[in-house]
Chain A
Amino acid sequence: MSGDIILSVDRLTMRFGGVVAVNDLSFAAERRKITALIGPNGAGKTTVFNCITGFYKPTSGAIRLTHDDGRGIQLDRLNDFRISKQARVARTFQNVRLFPGMTALENLMVAQHNALMLASGFTFLGLIGAPSFRKAEKHAIERATHWLDRIGLLGRADEAAGNLAYGDQRRLEIARAMCTEPALLCLDEPAAGLNARESSGLSELLLSIRDQGTSILLIEHDMSVVMEISDHIAVMDYGVKISEGAPREIRDDPKVIAAYLGVQDDEVAAVEQELGR
Chain B
Amino acid sequence: MNIEDIVRSGLHDAADQVAPIPDLHATALQRGRRRRTTRRIATAGCVVVSVSAIIATGVAVSNGTGGGRHHNLHVAGQGDGTQQVVADPWWDTWSTDRYDGHVDPAFLQAIRPTYDTSKGPEKITVYAAGTTSDGNQWAMTTDPTEGHRIEWWQGRNNRPLVGEVPPEVDAGQTWTSWSMPTESAENGSSGNQQWLIVVGRPGTTDIDFSPDGATWRPLETHNGIAVTFFADGFPPASARVRLSDASGVYATGKPAGAGAGESPSASPLPGGSSTSSPTPTAAPSSITASASAAPPSATR
B is a partner of A:
no
User: Which residues of A come within 8 Å of B, CB atoms?
Assistant: none
User: Which residues of B come within 8 Å of A, CB atoms?
Assistant: none
